[in-house]
Structure formats: structure tokens, C-alpha cells
Amino acid sequence: MDQSPPHPETQHQSVTFAEGLTLDCGRHLASLTVAYRTYGTLNAARNNAILICHALTGDQYVAEPNPETGKPGWWDNLVGPGKPVDTENFFVICTNVLGGCMGTTGPRSPHEDHPERPWGTDFPPVTINDMVRAQKLFIGHLGIEKLFAVIGGSMGGMQTLAWAALYPQHVFAAIPVAAAYYHSAQNIAFHEIGRQAIAADPDFHGGQYWEHGVIPARGLAVARMTAHITYVSEEALSRKFGRKLQEAEGLSSLGERFEVESYLQYQGSSFVRRFDANSYLTITRAMDLFDLAAEHGGLLANAFKGTKTRFLLVSFSSDWLFPTAQSRAIARALNHVAANVSFVEIKSDKGHDAFLLDEPDFHRTLRGFLSGCAEHAGLK
């Protein structure tokens, strides 16, 4: 793969908190910048705000073109006027996560002790809870005491669960989608393959690749390709590609490839132009560390004792990365503490990525749940 240019510099809408943030690892960030986007209008009562939490490789551009790629917002089919998350009724917020590379403090940010260079691999380890605490600081900055809802898929679902556990009095409804309360050993293993691929790239330079004017494009692309396989189902890959070759003549040379190979190479090459390798290392480790039950004495139900938050849990039948069984386990824990919980498994053959795609049953379910919650919250 050809060496791609360094990650482009874009000025993102952001707020900086001079008080910084203390992390779970014990380190204190002297200053914290949170990059964000908002959609819709905050009402006078400030009670119609929905926070959307993005997944591993997502960003704050949930419902508008990404300024670096030009591609539509990653949940553009779900968020907007008249859509399931209706910006004519709700004030929608999305922040780039702590450790990210789209404007929020992370490995690409100036090192607090050496501002002439980025943090790089010196950036302290962060957790899902740290990400949520940074979001909470930002929500307070907006003058919002209680969120109407927190919604997120995949790693965003982990953040949603963390919000419900850390700040139950500040969340009216929580909607974790295609998520789990811990990262499985298999998922950690896939992440480790990606991290090792990045570290093995000669252009990684111990994480100080910017000093050489390069990025570890090959390693980061392999990491993305490996991860992407886990996001799709075997049925979806077979339907889209099967065993088709790019050239109809057959195996006339070793250089010819299956269409699925070309697809994965495209996924890898496009990813390296928009994502920072050190951020990838930081965020995947945060996902791996997530275990909500372990944080509460080994019993998941303890995380939700006394909660008044309303929950909607959504899984997809062909998702083998965060399978339905993990959502059912969360539902059982919530039932154990008599929480208000709804659970639905959406029939789909699209795998984990189904939460990002056009799934009418999912969209109808979400729209109906939000409408019901709005009535109970007095928004209608």
C-alpha cells in the first residue's frame, strides 16, 4: 500500500476546559478540549437534549458531511428533521470521544509538557468512563442538567451504559444498540492483531511517526481490514462478493484478486486518510478495558440499583461481534433491579454494522420508544 499523507489538520468546533480532567489511571489532564456538533434547538426547559455516542472509528459528524472525507454523516439516515431521532423535536449532541483524532484531546493534541509536539504514545490510557466524564463536563457547559436520552451503538453503546451507571439521575432514557457490558476475549484478540500490525509497520517509529513526516499506513490499514471483517456477517459478504474475481478471465496471474479482497483493501486505504494510528491504539484499549460488572463487585445488576432511567436494548440477529446474548444479559440485570427496560432483537443478515445501515425495523422501534418517552417526560 502506498504511503498516505499525514492526517489532515481541520479546525473543529470545540470547547476547552481549563480545569482539565482526572482519569481513571490516576493522571490528570491539565486541559481538556472537547470537539462537538449539535443539531436542532434546545428548548427553554433544556430537557429535550439527546446525546449520541459514536463508535470506535466514528466522530462528531453524525448528521452532516464529514469535513475531511466529504462523506455523509455516519448516522445521517437516523438523525435529522422527520427522522427517527427528529431534530425538529430534539436537540442532538455528538462529541468526539476523549482520545480521538477529530478535535477532542487525544494523542494528536499538543503534549502538555512539550507543546511543540503531540502526545503520541505518551498520551495516558483512558477508559470508557473517562470518555463519559468528559462528555458530562461538556453537557454541563451547555447548561443541561438532565439528558432526555443517550443513544449509542457498539462502543457508543458502552458509553451509553456507562452514562446510565455513572449518572442515572441525569439520563431519562438510555438506548444501547449492538453493544455489551464488557469486551469479550475474542474481541480483545482481534484488537490486539490490529495493534500489533500498527506497531510492526516500519513507519510507526515507536509512535513518533510525525517526526518523520509519515504515518504507519500499512499497519493501520491491516488493523482496519481485520476489524471490518468483524463488523459484517458471512451472509452479507457472500451476498455482496461471493467468490467473484475482479477479472472474469479467471486466475491468469497471481496478481488477480477476489472482489472481497479489493473491498477490504479499499476499507483500509480510505481509513488511514482519516484516522490517527495512536488514537486507534488508545481507543481500542479503552474498549478492551470496559467491564461494567467488574466495576460493581462482579454483579452487573449493581450498576443499575435504584435507577429510574428507561432503557431500550437493541441487538441484531447476525451480529457475532456483540451477539444478542450479551444484550439479553443486560436486560436480565436490569430486570433484577426492577428497571424499566424494553429489549428487541432485529432480524438482519448484515452483521454488527446493521446499526449503521437502513434497517426499517430498528428505525421504527427507536422512533416509537423515543415518542413514548417524550410523552412520559412531558415533551408532547
Contact between residue 176 and residue 165 where contact means Cβ atoms under 8 Å apart: no
Which of 130, 203, 319, 353 does the annotation list as catalytic?
319
Q: Is 352 annotated in the active site?
A: yes
Nearest Cα neighbor of 158 from 35, 15, 330, 11 is 330
Q: How far apart are CA 296 and CA 311, in angstroms?
A: 19
First-to-final CA distance of the chain:
54
The sign of the torsion formed by the CA atoms of 211, 107, 270, 87 equals negative
Q: Is 319 annotated in the active site?
A: yes
Which of 154, 269, 315, 318 does the annotation list as catalytic?
154
Contact between residue 203 and residue 215 where contact means Cβ atoms under 8 Å apart: yes
Q: At 48, give phi and psi (nearest 5°).
A: -115, 25
Which of 12, 318, 352, 353 does the annotation list as catalytic?
352
Residue 135 CB neighbour total at 10 angstroms: 26
Q: How far apart are CA 230 and CA 86, in angstroms?
A: 30
Q: Is 291 annotated in the active site?
A: no
Contact between residue 334 and residue 166 where contact means Cβ atoms under 8 Å apart: no
Q: Among all residues, which ones are annotated catalytic?
A: 154, 319, 352
